[in-house]
Amino acid sequence: MREYIYSLEEISEVITDLPELFEQEPAIVTVTRHGKPVMTILSTNFYKEVIEPLDSVLETIEVLQDEELMASIRRGMKDIEEGRVRSWEEVKRELGWE
C-alpha cells in the first residue's frame, strides 16, 4: 500500500483528487503540521475492510484483560454447564415484567 504525505498547506490543493487516487490504488494519506503527522486519510473501503474489524479484536482483547469480567464469564459458563439456569420467561415473571 502506498503512502502519500502532504503538509496542511499542500492537502488543500490535492484533497479533491483523493477519491480518484483511492479508486486507482489502495493508499494512505498522511497530513503533517510542522513536519509531524497530525492525521491520516483512508478510503472508506480500506476503513471498512481493515480498520473496523480491528475494533472488534481490540474490544475482545480488552475483555480478555479484565480479570473480574473474565471470572464472571467463567462462573456463568460453569452455571450453565451445571444446570443452574432459569429461562428468560421465568426471570421476566419473577421480575413482574409480564
Render pLDDT for 34-89 as a digit per residue (tens, 0 to 9): 999 999 999 999 999 988 899 899 999 999 999 999 999 999 999 999 999 999 99
Here the cell at position 48 is 471498512
pTM here? 0.59
**What is the Cα–Cα distance from 58 to 1, expressed in whole angstroms?**
23
Q: Is the pLDDT score of 26 beyond 90? A: no
| Domain map (residue ranges) of the chain | 2-46, 50-95
Contact between residue 33 and residue 57 where contact means Cβ atoms under 8 Å apart: no
Where b means 16+ CB within 10 Å and e means fewer, 40-75 reads: ebbbeeeeeeeeeeeeeeeeeeeeeeeeeeeeeeee
pLDDT of amino acid 41: 97
Third-level CATH fold of 2-46? YefM-like fold (3.40.1620)
